[in-house]
Amino acid sequence: MKLCDFCGFYVGPEDIKCRNCSNPIPGRQVFEEIDYKPSKIESKQNSAPEKIIYQKPKGKLYNFIRKTVILLILTGIVIAPQTQTLVKDSLNYWDEMNKPYYNIPESIELTMVRNFTIYLQDEGYSDYSLVISKPEDRPTWPQQGETSWQSITDFKTNPDYNENEAGRMEWANRIEGQDRNYIEIEYKVKINTLRPDLTPEDSGTVEDIPEGYDIYLQDEWLIEPSSSDISNLSNQLSNGTEGNVIKILQNIYNYITYNYTYKQSSIPKSCDETMENMFGDCDDFSILFASIARAAGIPAWLELGKIPAFIDNRAGCDLRDWGGHAWVNTVVPLKEGGFTVVNIDLANSYFMWMPAYRISDWVDDGNGDNLYSYYYLFSSKGTAKATYLENSYVSNCEIIGNLKLEQL
């Protein structure tokens, strides 16, 4: 009896592996015969050849006709009016998309709020006076003949004001100790962009300027056309213009914008002082311009108001940080008869046009005392010195229309 060498289980005489552990029994392996038969490979040589079909080549005449027909079709498509219009429109659209331009609103409607806080800097008391110009519709004289560009509605103040002899709003009161006095001005205003289509060819001469504007040819506070330096400069800038008003105004504008540096100051300077320093701000440049223009025989006067330092109209109407501003108005006689009034902002490089980003508070009436008092709106008298803080802001704003300008 044979036992498995691995598990000791009984191994039968015919077993080739243990019935218990399945291990092979030494000496009893069986080798299977493998009947190897080479696979039948079909010879490529004996297979039927692939049939190749040759097409007879087309003749030269056929190819010529074919190309000619295609060319005629393409030419017809290209010269077709519809295609020409499509190509022209596409080129115009491409030029428009790649042309730089400025986005200027046609009009702006906003609500302006001005808050004044009056307080004492020391212990004691003070009798103070706050005088503010009341914004009005524009144009008013002397801007007659000009398109209306500013409309005021829903004007209100708290507390009420008294009107002084110059037609301005005045609040006069006494303040003591730690008291605070508050004044609020609120109104709605619509401002239009002014961009008249005027060229030197449309302009009349100095001799064509209408009567009634003599007051804007005389000396005024800080505006001195009688100055010898101003007179000499005016003559130089008028040479070669043949008296054409727009050409003279353009020469004055170029002289100031190209030669003077903008530098802000708190107190306006005279025209002679600005010429000597060769720098100034919006008030100084406007005073200098008006002096030179008056010396040339062209009526010119200041207009004063406010503009925002921060402007963002990409996603609405965001106008912030309002501050005082000055620009110049002048009379331009027209060659075909009549006249108009144009605006010139030297600090912002606007010649004979005005965007809607501004509010007019007061137009110079030719009275030097009134021009002076505009800049000195607050006074106090007592045992302590009173002063004020102003916070101006826009409570709501809406842009109406849009102008795309290639140049300002």
| Partners of residue 311 on adjacent β-strands | 319
Tokens of 136: 């009005």
DSSP 8-state secondary structure symbol assigned to residue 17: B
- pLDDT number for residue 41: 40
- pLDDT number for residue 196: 83
Tokens of 24: 């092979």
pLDDT single digits (tens) 77-97 = 656 676 667 666 666 656 555
Task: Specify whether the CB–CB gap between 245 and 201 falls below 8 A.
Answer: no
3-state secondary structure of 233: helix
- pLDDT number for residue 145: 56
Q: Which ranges of the chain have pLDDT less than 70?
A: 1-11, 13, 20-21, 26-64, 72, 74-80, 82-84, 86-102, 140-141, 143-147, 315, 406-408
User: What pTM does this model have?
Assistant: 0.74
End-to-end CA distance of the chain: 120
Say how far apart CA 378 and CA 175 lie, in whole Å. Answer: 14
- pLDDT number for residue 5: 61
Tokens of 254: 């170029």
Say how far apart CA 211 and CA 118 lie, in whole Å. Answer: 45
3-state secondary structure of 167: coil
3-state secondary structure of 74: helix
Residues in the chain: 408
pLDDT single digits (tens) 172-193 = 999 999 999 999 999 999 999 9
- pLDDT number for residue 245: 97
Task: Specify whether the CB–CB gap between 330 and 293 falls below 8 A.
Answer: yes
Closest CA to 206 of 299, 343, 342, 341: 299
Longest dimension (CA), the chain: 151
| CA 382 from centre of chain | 47
